[in-house]
Chains A and B, each alone.
Chain A
Amino acid sequence: GAGVSQSPSNKVTEKGKDVELRCDPISGHTALYWYRQRLGQGLEFLIYFQGNSAPDKSGLPSDRFSAERTGESVSTLTIQRTQQEDSAVYLCASSFFRVDQPQHFGDGTRLSIL
């Protein structure tokens, strides 16, 4: 079946520009997560959505970062006024809302800020 889909797969932009990253979760998965992975490093939690509940934004590193989710489907992560330190792979994952369920990850968006 279809997995988590992220677009674009690669994005190169100039410092100061805004970028929007998209995530299509697996159908039926009510939980959706965004992570940042810097080169050679682990996963940094950014934000979590569950159904129509208020998202957990505790991992967003600054107010330049924001995310939205339409119901239980598509999510977009927006980075305004990009900085070079924003260069990373941004991973999206979705899961059923049960604590014993694993996350399913997309292949990520590789963001490069020039």
Chain B
Amino acid sequence: AQSVAQPEDQVNVAEGNPLTVKCTYSVSGNPYLFWYVQYPNRGLQFLLKYITGDNLVKGSYGFEAEFNKSQTSFHLKKPSALVSDSALYFCAVRPATSGTYKYIFGTGTRLKVLA
């Protein structure tokens, strides 16, 4: 079965420290991978995606993610966390199969950046 796992319900990090939010996936074939962020009472906002090419993808608000095919992971990172980064983060995968249109979302990781 195709799935996405975000093993941490919550991640706490001090402001100014690097942050990592983990995501692993299990799909058949090559995946297209996405990260979204959700602020309170808002919908999800697209941060970045991996389609092909460089394993390190840069996105909005200084976030980046590293695709690791052998570990089937796509961890979200930021070199220096801000209090305003505190939010709910979702990893999503879309199998790169013709006609496959569903996105599979992880359960979300709540990031708390402490001042």
Contacts and interface: CB of A to CB of B under 8 A. Distances in A.
Secondary structure dominating the interface of A: strand
A29 to B, nearest CB: 13
B43 A107 contact: yes
**Which secondary structure characterizes the binding site on chain B?**
loop
B43 A108 contact: yes
Contacts of A93: 43-44
Interface residues of A, number: 24
A103 B46 contact: yes
Interface string B79-91: 0000000000010
A82 to B, nearest CB: 21
Interface of A: 4, 6, 31, 33, 41-43, 45, 48, 50, 56, 91, 93, 97, 99-100, 102-108, 110
Interface of B: 32, 34, 36, 41-46, 49, 51, 90, 94, 96-98, 100-103, 105-108
13 contacts: A4-B43, A6-B43, A31-B101, A33-B103, A45-B102, A48-B101, A56-B102, A93-B44, A99-B94, A99-B101, A105-B43, A107-B43, A110-B41
Given A91-B43, A104-B46, A107-B41, 13 more contacts: A33-B103, A41-B108, A42-B106, A43-B44, A48-B101, A56-B102, A93-B44, A99-B97, A99-B98, A105-B43, A107-B43, A108-B43, A110-B41
